[in-house]
Amino acid sequence: MIDRRTSSRRDARGSGSGLLRGLAVAPAVAALGWIGASALFIPHKLRLPPALPGDQRDMDGIAGRLSYYTAGPAAGDAAAKRAGETLPPLLLIHSINAAASAYEVKPIYERAMRERTVYALELPGFGFSERSPRDYTPRLMTDAIHTMIDEIRRIHGDGPIDALALSLSSEFLARAAVEAPGEFRSIALVSPTGLDSRGPYYGAPESNRGMPVLYGAFSFPVWGRAVFDLLNTRVSARYYLEKTWGSKAIDEGLWDYCYLTSHQPGAEHAPFYFVGGYLFSKDITRVYEQLRVPVLMTHGVRGDFTDFSYARILKSRPNWTMKVYPTGAFPQFEVADEFFRTHREFWSGLAESHAAISDAGEARETGETGEARAPAGEAGRTGERGGDGAAKSPGEAGATA
């Protein structure tokens, strides 16, 4: 006779093991389902409108096909046009992330275009620039900046420009300015990477922090695009922007553009190199220390991007000016007018310094006496203006990084 209790225990064990097997299989089934959904139902070629007003142009160079936007004072605004002719061109460069685009510099671009010629570059792998499968490295991004500067000089002639970059792209801009200092009047770095408490970074020249295993795990052909799609749902895009802002009050236009630009052919290639660490330079502390052009560094205090511990290495340097905002990592959106005013005053200080040097030179030639202000290489000192939103000297910046 069969013991019913034994049979019940046996049935319970069987049911339990079946449940465990089901739980173990469920993630695999879900993953396969998402891979299939990504391939069959998620759009990968949405209509992508221009990120910025003005002209959108393409060019070819060592970094492949590059796209950029450009605009300037309206043709009917004669006063602004004359003023713009006295200012050097301004180059703006977006950050690097899974859905980066030139839209990130829109608040700066739209204000600057009223008074000077402004350019906004789309880096390789983003926007309308080439998104082919290739190695995305700091060298590729730096070469793209050099190509853009060559294009600006072709249009405007020789002469240094002002340039501004966001977050990780600050590393590429800094490297370009070290390699070709004569091409820059100044650079502005917004929430720059490479100044965190894990540094300093004095690695071999042009080495990076790439992690092959991590890169391979994300980019494996069977599931790579599906993983990228999971990172770029509308829910995910909002989540990451809220971490960037340190607030739920994100820019809704940027959020919408993030979804569109991340659903394009080849959109995953550059971001996978970013996630894998290949776009972060191991020698960036040395690069920052080698900068000789005037530098304005700005950052916020909210969100996930607030560690600027090693900024103190640079804070006392005469060519560095620092400004902190009560914002997240994209102050150009949260305090747009104050942010632009800070930079305009920084740039005006450079012009005043250059004029003072010229006047002093003419005075010496005619036998007159004159005292020049700080040379352009020390223009950070001329920024001791303080006040609401104004650039300050490195010693007065109040940076906590």
Contact 284, 194 (CB under 8 A): yes
Is the full-model pTM beyond 0.85? no
Extract the residue ranges of the chain whose pLDDT is less than 50. 19-20, 22-25, 28-32, 34, 37, 40-41, 356-401
What pLDDT, on a 0 to 100 scale, did the predictor assign at position 38? 56
Parse the chain into domains and list their residue ranges: 55-396
What pLDDT, on a 0 to 100 scale, did the predictor assign at position 79? 57
**Rounded CA separation 313/394 (Å):** 11
**Rounded CA separation 106/120 (Å):** 9
**pLDDT digits over 150-190, tens only?**
999 999 999 999 999 999 999 999 999 999 999 999 999 99
What residues pair up with 68 in beta bridges, in sequence order?
57, 121
What pLDDT, on a 0 to 100 scale, did the predictor assign at position 401? 37
Class of domain 55-396: alpha beta
What pLDDT, on a 0 to 100 scale, did the predictor assign at position 10? 53
First to last CA, the chain: 79
**Rounded CA separation 250/260 (Å):** 17
**Rounded CA separation 89/322 (Å):** 22
207: closest CA among 144, 283, 276, 273? Answer: 283
What pLDDT, on a 0 to 100 scale, did the predictor assign at position 86? 83
What pLDDT, on a 0 to 100 scale, did the predictor assign at position 221? 83
